[in-house]
Amino acid sequence: MIQEGKAKIVGELPHQISRKLEVFYNPVMAHNRDIAVSIINAWGKKIQAADPLAASGVRTIRLLKECKNVKFVAANDCNKNAFAAMKKNFKQNKVSKSKFSLHNNDASMFLLESCGFDYVDIDPFGSPNPFLDSAVKRLAREGILAVTATDTAALAGTSPKACMRKYWGVPLKSASMHEIGLRILIRKIQLVGAQYEKALVPIFSYAAQHYMRVYLQNTKAKTAVDDILIQHWDLGYCDHCMKTVPVFTNKCVCKRDYVLAGPAWIGSLWDDKFVKKMKSWCKTCSSLIATIKKESAVGVIGIIGLDEVASRAKLSLPPKEFIIAAIKKKGYKVAPTHFSGSALKTDAPVKEIVNVMAFHH
């Protein structure tokens, strides 16, 4: 018996996470599910939710038990063993029969055969691509679509060709590679939305060690879709200034050529009003939410790797807190970032960071 949040799940904790497990339960993804619980609680709206790739059912059992506003869930998995485990788990958690339905179908078929949901959670092995079309089609007005991608090698730039094929954008290996990958993923999902005249705006997104995750809220309005599309741009990285910016001009202000990435979403990764309402009892998740609150307020694209700045300037690296305080004092916006423990989000030029490091020296 595994306890996660308010759910008790039958299953064996795996020695090694593998898609060959009879019924997939990944304890590392408990944080992913904690954040989902936090988002749905912050939303507060009465909803019907779909879990098309449910495995043990732990995700939707938690939503039902931990979010008062979840009225009904439909959980699905194509794997027979997973379906049997789901049945057992819903029963054992004493979920009232009027609050759920269980399905043993292909995820896209399951979605297309349903009437629609306020919340659809796509949490696959690898790429979410096969399920995006049906998920978008069945997403209600004002609904939230949650998407996990675990193929971070493609998105973060280890396999640029795979990223082009799957996500229609060029990634870039740099300090900002996870943020750029997340923005490429968001644009891809938004393009799927756009063809059905659904405007999908990110309300919460993050990159974790082995996956990327994004929550997008749907507005069904043509003009809202147009507003999304004008925020898809190429990104440019200037190796001299160390900044990542939307490429509005051919060259960086320092006259050097950019290294190009994208196209990608250049709008916000978070909705501040939403994030303000998010709470979590889990230490890791509340610290993620707290960091995101701060970095969201800086409002710039890309991050600055402090190790890289220090090594280029041949200076030793002062504590991050010292750098943050000193840059703030100079009147710039600056915050730690969840994308990396050794980087900052800031509107300060890198030479100001170098000055701060030299001063500490």
Binding site for Zn ion (CB under 5 A): 238, 240-241, 252, 254
Asked if residue 8 binds ligand SAM (CB under 6 A), the reply is no
Select 70 or 172, whichever has its Cβ closest to Zn ion.
172
Picked from ligand SAM, Zn ion, none, the partner binding residue 213 (CB below 5 to 8 A depending on kind) is: none
Closest approach of Cβ 8 to ligand SAM, in Å? Answer: 14
Is 259 in contact with 239 (CB distance < 8 Å)? yes
Asked if residue 64 binds ligand SAM (CB under 6 A), the reply is no
Closest approach of Cβ 63 to ligand SAM, in Å? Answer: 11
**In the window 72-91, what residues touch ligand SAM (CB under 6 A)?**
77-79, 82
Which one among 4, 66, 118, 123 touches ligand SAM, defined by CB under 6 A? 123
Picked from Zn ion, ligand SAM, none, the partner binding residue 240 (CB below 5 to 8 A depending on kind) is: Zn ion
Asked if residue 151 binds ligand SAM (CB under 6 A), the reply is no
Closest approach of Cβ 130 to ligand SAM, in Å? Answer: 6
Exposure string for 29-61, b = 16+ CB within 10 A, e = fewer? bbbbbbbbbbbbbbbeeebbbbbbbbbbbbbbb
d(CA 336, CA 327): 12
Asked if omega into 263 is within 30° of 0 (cis), the reply is yes
257 DSSP β-pair partners: 251
Is 301 in contact with 244 (CB distance < 8 Å)? yes
Which one among 5, 11, 124, 193 touches ligand SAM, defined by CB under 6 A? 124
Picked from ligand SAM, Zn ion, none, the partner binding residue 33 (CB below 5 to 8 A depending on kind) is: ligand SAM
Which one among 42, 54, 208, 252 touches ligand SAM, defined by CB under 6 A? 54
Asked if residue 59 binds ligand SAM (CB under 6 A), the reply is yes
Picked from ligand SAM, Zn ion, none, the partner binding residue 238 (CB below 5 to 8 A depending on kind) is: Zn ion
Is the Cα dihedral 321, 325, 330, 332 positive or negative?
positive
Residue with tokens 């393009």: 191
- Give me 311's structure tokens: 């090594």
d(CA 144, CA 130): 18
Stretch that binds ligand SAM, among 119-127, 134-142, 151-159, 252-260 (CB under 6 A): 119-127
Closest approach of Cβ 241 to Zn ion, in Å? Answer: 3
- Taking the alpha carbons at both ends of the chain, their separation in whole angstroms is 54
User: Which residue type is seen at 42?
Assistant: A
Is 58 in contact with 89 (CB distance < 8 Å)? yes
Longest dimension (CA), the chain: 66
Q: What residues contact residue 109 under an 8 Å CB cut-off, 6+ apart?
A: 134
Q: What residues contact residue 28 under an 8 Å CB cut-off, 6+ apart?
A: 17, 210
- Give me 39's structure tokens: 């988002």
Closest approach of Cβ 124 to ligand SAM, in Å? Answer: 5
- Cα 278 to Cα 65, 224, 286, 292, 360: the distances in Å are 17, 25, 9, 11, 37
Select 239 or 271, whichever has its Cβ closest to Zn ion.
239
Picked from ligand SAM, Zn ion, none, the partner binding residue 53 (CB below 5 to 8 A depending on kind) is: ligand SAM
Closest approach of Cβ 271 to ligand SAM, in Å? Answer: 23
Closest approach of Cβ 152 to ligand SAM, in Å? Answer: 14
Which one among 4, 7, 24, 334 touches ligand SAM, defined by CB under 6 A? 24
Instruction: List residues near ligand SAM by CB under 6 A.
Output: 24-25, 29, 33, 53-56, 58-59, 77-79, 82, 106-107, 123-125
